[in-house]
Structure 1
Amino acid sequence: MLDLKESWTYTCTKIVSKTETNTATAHGWSNGWDVFRKANATVVVGTPILPPLIHVVKVPNVFTLPAGGGTVTYLYKVTNPGTVPLSEVSIVDDKCTGLPGRVVGHPGDLNKNNLLESNETWQFTCQSKITQTTTSIGTAMGYANGLTASDFSPVTVLVDPPGFPNAGLPHERKSVAWSIAEIAGILGLISLAVVLKKRIV
């Protein structure tokens, strides 16, 4: 079981003969839900070009909502784990429309050159109102040396199912005396059935 603050590391080795981008997908299960994450990496063959890398982490302010749903605020942290600065950085979400898309003049751009560098973290927020359990994916992209870097961060927010509707009828309350009378009547019927059975036999 992968616990909080744990980090599991895996390696895979293959021979490549040309430039290629591959995708690794990690899956896990929690409370009956499939949690997944994809990561891309590009290996350049034949030219001394450094491939770009980008990383995005998306976190909602709540993971569960009551029946009927509500508003969720997502926080996105975009970083550059590579060694080459990224230009034309963009951030989008398939279920939240408040993100800027192409990013220009971000306050996290320390040297104000519109390049996401390895020592910078660019943060974004987006609000969305949901009424049912929703999985949404944040996507960050950047460019360097003629290559595209992309990363995806899916998140699921659970919405409780609706309860039974209130019919508006008052609950019927029975007195103690009435309840005792009902029980006595049932016992009387059982006794009568036993007597009749004995007479028939």
Structure 2
Amino acid sequence: MEVKNKNFGANFGVGTFGILVAISMFFLFIGSAVADCTDVGIFLNKTANATEINYGESVNYTYLIENCEEWDIGNISLFDDKLGVILCPKTTLFVNEMMICYADANLTENTTNTATVTGTVYDDTVSANDTATVSVIINPAISIDKKANASVINYGDSVKYTYNVTNIGNVPLNNVTVSDDKCAPLNCPKNTLVAGESMLCNCSTTITQTTTNIAVVYGTAPNGENVSAQDNETVIVKQKAAMRTIGFWKHQFAVATGNNKGKAQINSAILQSYLPIDVFGNKIKTLDDGYKTLWIRKASMKERAIQQCFATLLNFKNGAATNDSLVDTNYDKIADMKFSDAINTALSEFNGGNYEKAKNVCDSINNMDE
């Protein structure tokens, strides 16, 4: 409970002008507070401006004090068991005189507090007390909105998920955590959220099949109540094609150019869409160029390197690999290098005159799925 202020009030005198002031101030400020001097002593009536508020809102307490003695009351002090000492406009009240004291507080839980006023009449102490109850509405709630940076990706590509977490309740939430059943680690900037606050979390992973994953967020309200929410996202993975050998590609181009009457697995339009391809500075633009490259008779080692690496780049175009895919470059069926690095290695060997090494790198890649 936060006390905002408790240092102002009003008092009613009984002089000629004071009576009029007392009457007007009485109706203006005390509302439902009613003075009651049926008993001799000091009277206290405590009221709140609301009986029900939202978490953290301010409530204004009004304390009406009246001298019901036949003598003046001095040394008047007011104490609230939840707010402490309450300052009033004066410490002495004449007979039948009234004053009003105020205090504001921000409440975060249901609160019943008791105010006690004391004073002295000569050597005797007089006192009175009164209570007020205010109920605090606590509605904790949380939401999560999960998105992927792409709805369709290639086999083995990375996907990045973002999670927009919002405190949609009217109370702060602690221990806010987000988990994803298919992605980890998941990074969030904080673990507390005030009412209405949002934060963005993220997680990246590589997936090799169409994936629907569920993200769940949890939080705890000040009263110990736990809240949660969840959201899911589906990312479609285009399955990779198998790596094909040079023989496969020779057949496709032979059929596409009419040099073979057999049946092709890839039609000529798709083959043409894979072109042009630059193989170590040799640009292959047309289907006929491709056929002639693949069907060189008595090819030299340099030409064989171009043939194998042309087939490797056709496999790339056909979706058998991405730049980040791991491939086998030494015939042991164990992926040992990223595709992009493998092609750069073959290029380096080719430019250095090591045609057989360049050929072997590409040939190993082409045969890794056989």
Q: In which range does the TM-score fall when normalised by the shorter chain?
A: 0.5 to 0.7
Give the stretch that moved more between structures: 49-58 or 148-157.
Answer: 49-58
Corresponding residue for residue 174 of structure 2: 87
Residue 115 (1) aligns with residue 203 (2): no
Corresponding residue for residue 153 of structure 1: 231
Quick one: distance in 2 between partners of 1:123 and 1:147? 23
Root mean square deviation of aligned Cα? 2.9
How many residues are treated as equivalent by the alignment?
A: 122
| Contiguous gaps of at least 5 residues in structure 2 | 1-134, 262-370
Corresponding residue for residue 159 of structure 2: 72
Quick one: distance in 1 between partners of 2:217 and 2:243? 43
Q: CA shift at 1:99, angstroms?
A: 1.4
**Higher relative contact order by CA 8 Å / sep ≥ 6: 1 or 2?**
1
> Do the aligned residues in 1 keep the contact of 2:169 with 2:196 (CA within 8 Å)?
no
Letter in 2 for 1:59: K
Letter in 2 for 1:62: A
CA displacement, residues 85-108 of structure 1 (integer Å, 9 cap, x when unaligned)? 1111111111111214xx6x62xx
Quick one: distance in 2 between partners of 1:160 and 1:120? 38
Deviating beyond 4 angstroms after TM superposition, the runs of 4 or more aligned structure 1 residues are 173-179
> Do the aligned residues in 2 keep the contact of 1:51 with 1:147 (CA within 8 Å)?
no
Which of 166, 173, 186 is the equivalent residue of 2:244?
A: 166
Quick one: distance in 1 between partners of 2:171 and 2:164? 18
Q: CA shift at 1:167, angstroms?
A: 4.3
Corresponding residue for residue 212 of structure 2: 135
Quick one: distance in 2 between partners of 1:177 and 1:166? 20
Quick one: distance in 2 between partners of 1:81 and 1:62? 27
Q: 1:70 to 1:84 in 2, by over 3 A?
A: same
What pairs up with 1:50-61 in 2 under 5 angstroms? 50-61=138-149
Quick one: distance in 2 between partners of 1:146 and 1:50? 11
> Scaled by the length of structure 2, what TM-score is found?
0.30
| Contiguous gaps of at least 5 residues in structure 1 | 1-46, 107-113, 180-201
Quick one: distance in 2 between partners of 1:92 and 1:177? 58
> Do the aligned residues in 2 keep the contact of 1:61 with 1:74 (CA within 8 Å)?
yes
Quick one: distance in 2 between partners of 1:71 and 1:177? 41
